[in-house]
Amino acid sequence: MTPPEFPEHPAPPVFIDDHSDVSVFLSVPEAATWIEPIDVQNHEYSGYDSLGRLLNLTTDGRSVRISLDEQSPTHADRLHATLQSFLRDVGDPVSDDTSYDLPRLVAHFTRYAPKPQRSLWQTVTSLFHARP
C-alpha cells in the first residue's frame, strides 16, 4: 500500500484562526492579502489548509507569506474541532452533526468565505441590464 500523496502547496480553502474567530479563504493569495503583517509578527493567528495541515505564516513587515509547516495533516482533528466550535458559536446546526467528517465540514464552511468584490464596471453594467 502506497502512502497518500500531498501537494507541496496548501490545499484550498485555507482557514485562519484568530482565537476561535475563524476566517476561510478560497485561495492562499486571498488569505495573504487579508492578514495584517503586524498580527503575524504578534503570533495572533493559526492557519490550516483544507487537509488539516498547519500553515506557516511569515511577514517581512509589509506583506504576508503563507506556506506549509508540515506535509502530513497532523492537525486535522484540531481543525475539525475549531470549525465545529465556530459553527456552534454562529448557530449553524451542522456544528453538532456527527456525520460531518473534515472534508464535508470544509465543504460546508466555504459558505462563510468572503464573496469576490465586483468591479465598478460590473456594477455599472449590471444596473443597465437590470432595467425593464
| Window from 73-77, 102-106, 113-117 with minimum mean pLDDT | 113-117
In one letter, which amino acid is 38? Answer: I
pLDDT, one tens digit per residue, over 29-39 is: 999 999 999 99
Q: 29 and 45 in contact (C-beta within 8 Å)?
A: no
Please tell me the pTM assigned to this model: 0.80
**Residue that the C-alpha cell 504578534 belongs to:** 42
Q: Where are the alpha helices (DSSP H) in the chain?
A: 28-34, 37-41, 76-89, 102-109, 120-129
Which tens digits make up the pLDDT trace of 106-129?
999 888 887 655 555 555 555 555
The C-alpha cell of 113 is what? Answer: 468565505
